[in-house]
Amino acid sequence: MVPNAIMRTVLSRGGYGSRALSTSARRLQTPSGALPVRKPVGAFRGGLFGFLFGSLAAGAGMYFYVLNEYKVSNDLLQEDIYNLQSAVQRIEGYVKTLEDRVAKQMK
């Protein structure tokens, strides 16, 4: 505890307690209608909307991701089908030339 002599010395020199706390009347009065009255959003309702918005965003992201993957795989499959078709046409050409050669040798 601080002795009384030291406390009197500090208070007499203007250290602690030299300034009083006061407020004006204008600060305490708030003008009516200055701030709109807001109805607070409950935690349950805000959490529910947040959950629904997050689920919607995740679903939309997943939909576009799957759609993009489907398009890429479909393009690769179509390219493989075209390559297979060209390979089959080349083999058909080789077989026809072989058949023609065999037919000429038989005559």
**pLDDT tens-digit series, residues 10-21:** 556 555 555 566
Q: Tell me if 94 is assigned to some domain.
A: yes
Q: How many CA atoms lie within 13 A of 8 on its CB side?
A: 3
Q: Tell me if 48 is assigned to some domain.
A: no
| pTM exceeding 0.85 | no
Q: Tell me if 37 is assigned to some domain.
A: no
pLDDT band at 103 (very low <50, low <70, confident <90, very high): very high
Q: Tell me if 42 is assigned to some domain.
A: no
C-alpha distances in angstroms, 30 versus 22, 25, 27? 17, 10, 7
- Number of structural domains the chain divides into: 1
Domain that holds residue 66: 61-107
Q: Tell me if 101 is assigned to some domain.
A: yes
Q: Tell me if 93 is assigned to some domain.
A: yes
Q: Tell me if 102 is assigned to some domain.
A: yes
Q: What is the pLDDT of residues 25-34, one digit of tens each?
A: 665 565 665 6
Q: Tell me if 65 is assigned to some domain.
A: yes
Contacts of residue 11, Cβ cutoff 8 Å, sequence gap at least 6: 17, 18
